[in-house]
Every structure is written in C-alpha cells, then in structure tokens.
Structure 1
Amino acid sequence: MADERTLATEVREFFTNIITGQNRYINTAIAQTVNTNVGSVQFYSVLATVKANCDQLIDDINASRLKGGSKALYSGAVTSLANYLSLESLQTLTTDSLKGESQAFQYLTLVDDVLDPLDNRDIPVDFLTNVAAQAQGMLDELDASGVDDRLKAFLSKQIKQFMWSIQTFQIVGIEGLTRAWGAMAAEIARSQGMQGSRKTEAQSWYRKALPVLGAIGLAVTSASATVEQADNLLTHGSHIVAVVTGAEHGDAPADKKDSPAEESPTEKK
C-alpha cells in the first residue's frame, strides 16, 4: 500500500510525542523520548534531524499550490514549533508551554491535505528487525573476537550508534537511518588504519563484517515501498564493500605490520 505520510505528519508527531507525560524541560523530554542523555551525540543528532525536517517542511509549503496568505500561516506554525529546538528554549521552556501551541498542531494537521506524500517511508517493522539483526551479528562477532580492547571499543561504538538509529526510526526516519549507516561505514573503513587493525584477530573480524556492512548499506539506501527488493539486498548486495573500502568483495586489505605512519597522533599508544 502506498505511503501517504507527509513531512507535516512527521514533524507534528515528533512534537506530539515529547509532550506526553508530566511537565518537563524540552531538552529532558526529547532525551527521554529517544532514550538517550541530554547533550549526547544521539541527542544532537535528533535535534539536527528534526530541525532539518522543519526547514524542509517550510520549503514544501512554499512550493505548494497554496496561496500566499495560507503559506505564511502554515509556515508560521512550523516556525512556532521549531523555536522550541533552539539552545535557549531547550533549557528554559517546558512541555506545558509546547502543549499551548495547539493552533500550530492543528495547522500542521490541515496542511497534510495539500502536501505530496513522502517517498521511502513505507518501511515494515520486519525489515528494520532484519537490518538490526545483521548489525547485532557484527557486534556479537566483535565481542567474541580477540580484537584489541581499544579498537574493539571504537568499532562497537559505531555499530551501536547505527542500532540506536533503528530503535528510534520513527523519529530519525529513513534519512537518519541512512546517515547513521554512512557514518558507521566510514568510521569502520577508517579504523583499518588504526593500531591493532592489522593483527590476525582484527583481520578475521573485518573479513566477516565488511560484506555484512555493505549488504546493510544497500538495503537501507534502497529501502522503499518495494521492501522485498531491499530485503534481497541484505543477502546479495555485499559488493558495496568495494565502494566503501576499495577492497574486492569479501576481501579485507592485505596484512601488513602496524607502523607509526599509519596511525594518527591520537591513535598511538
């Protein structure tokens, strides 16, 4: 079934979610809603995602068939809610204040009727569960490996950040999920130049993990209403490893000894 969600729906739902429960400061409400801490990387990732959605929603409204006065009305409603994302508002305004923006919430409901549906939003839970299982498999293999503790901690952080984006998909959306995969892939590829990455244990993990990493990437970036095709990519799409790492499918870079030239100043012991 075609997905009829619009960006107005996603923005409205985000702000509706954070005003449930007792009165709290906005920053606390956001952190609790997405299961993270105020000031964490995940916290600011959510802020950036929602702010970008608000900016895009205003662009969509201005590009719609609405008359000028209506555009100003609906854009103003978006701006009223987006103002709660400023650094000052996060620490001084509360969810009770946000609840008072009932007219803005109503306008975002009404503008749904004139905006085009979003692409790439019809993602079944089973698909996300499948992707999460692939990522968890990478993490389990890492935990059971003999990879140096420092490198293991770095790699684990990248995978867990991606898994968090799956858990909060209803908020970060397909854009947030795609960005999280891109960050994970880039950092894992970069880690192959870090100290300890050329040891046998690390090379063994990379050989297993890189094809999975590539398959996840193709699945996520190709996900749409035709999810069956994206599901197949989890199994058959690992050739993206060549794009991410410069290596052939299933091959990790050739072993070579660690050397100071391969390490950044902050990565040396």
Structure 2
Amino acid sequence: MSGLLEIRSLTVKYDGDGNAIKNIDMTVDHKEIIGIVGESGCGKTTLIRSIIHLLSSNAKVVSGEIIFNGQDIIKYNKEQWRNLRGNEIAMVFQNPGSYLNPIIKIGKQFVQSIRNHRALSKREAIKKAKETLEKMHLRDCDRIMDSYPFQLSGGMKQRVAIAMAIAMEPKLILADEPTSALDVMTQVQIANELMALREDFHTSIIMVTHNIGCAAYMADRIMVMNKGEIVEFESKAQIIAQPKKEYTRNLLNAIPELKGLEA
C-alpha cells in the first residue's frame, strides 16, 4: 500500500519558546485512520496545523518535510495552498463555532465554500450541499440550510462542519478533538460517521484527541505524544494490549468517561 502522507523530521517552534514539536516522523496510508493522543500542550494540534499550513503567526517550521501525494507541500506557495486546502486536505475543528460564521446562515456559508473550490452554479452548489448534509444524517436539510449556527445543537453544528469539510471529497481529513465538546451519545455518533467516511470517500483521517479510549475505538494506529515528541506509534492492538512506555500506560489508566467507545 503506497502512502498518502509522509512526515520526515518535522520540527516546529514558537517565538520565544522551545520546540513545540521535534523531529516528528510519521506516515499515513490511503484509507487509514490515525489517532494522535496525549495531554494538552503536547503538540498534537501543532502537528496537524503544520500539515494544513494553518500555524499561528508566531510559529514556524524549523526543519523537516511534509510529503503529500509525492509533493513536499511545505514549499507550496499561497496559490498552491489555496488549491490543496479544502480540495485534497480538509480540517474539522474542535469547536464548529470557530469555523461557522455566527451571523451568516448555514446555506450561504456552505454554498460559498463549495463555489470557492468548484466552478458550480449556485443551484448546483445548493444541491451538493444538501446531498452532503444528508450523508451526515442531517435529514431536514432545508431547515438547516436556512438556520444560523446558534439555532443548531452542538452535534448538528459539528455534523455541518464535517459536511463542509468532506464536500470536496478530500483525500485527507484532519480532525482536531472533533467529539470532545459533545455529550457521550453524540460523541459515539460522530465517531461512527467519521469512520464511515473512509468507506464512502476512501478518505484517510488523522484525529487528535486527549482521549485514548476514543482513539482505540476509531483508529488503525495510535501515536502517543508527550512534550512535542513521539512516545509510541504502533497499531491500536499493540498500544492498547502491550504499551511499551509508562506514559502510555498512564494514559490508558486514565481513560475518561467515553463509555460508548470500547477498544
């Protein structure tokens, strides 16, 4: 199986601080789900934001390569990033409120997002938006399209955000704590819907989570991070049944209350 993404010796630094992540090496295969786990501040989000070139202004890639479909995308210019982001790599944020504009109706935002990436008429974009919402099990599409974000529940907003991310059928989805702000049952539903994307769109997923139980439910392989470095990166079965490092064992012993997700 040829790899979709390869990261080689990636180091990212924030101004005035030490390295946020250091010498990260990882691969992601086609249709593979990777779970990245670790405590807050360990570098999980910095890593996936590096992949999609969305680091904050005080952060920079010091060294390394990010090879996506055979190309080192670190070297991409703004136009190349505009074409890549959304079309082939998409991101789902922890809080959909950070993605959805609170004063613009869902339909207008969704249609604009689609037309930014595809030369479709407004009518065609509306049709595609509704079809994608239905794939996320949001049946009352007309009402949702005509709603402002505050009129939707947390789970519905997260489904909308995921729908907007997958509308262009990207090869890779980066999900930053996509279930942490939701109730337990909704967490399970969103996890199942993310997993289904692999089969529906042949999509690979890198999911950041503080909850190793959630990663154990969803992922093929789990990367454990601490203080900006990789502690372990093995198959799910290896990490759960035979963790090599004490840090990983401590994470497993502290699995929080996501009771619907079993390893």
- Same structural fold, with TM-score higher than 0.5 when normalized by the shorter chain: no
Q: TM-score, normalised by structure 2?
A: 0.26
Higher helix share: 1
Query: Which has the higher Rg, Structure 1 or Structure 2?
Result: 1
Higher strand share: 2
Q: TM-score, normalised by structure 1?
A: 0.26
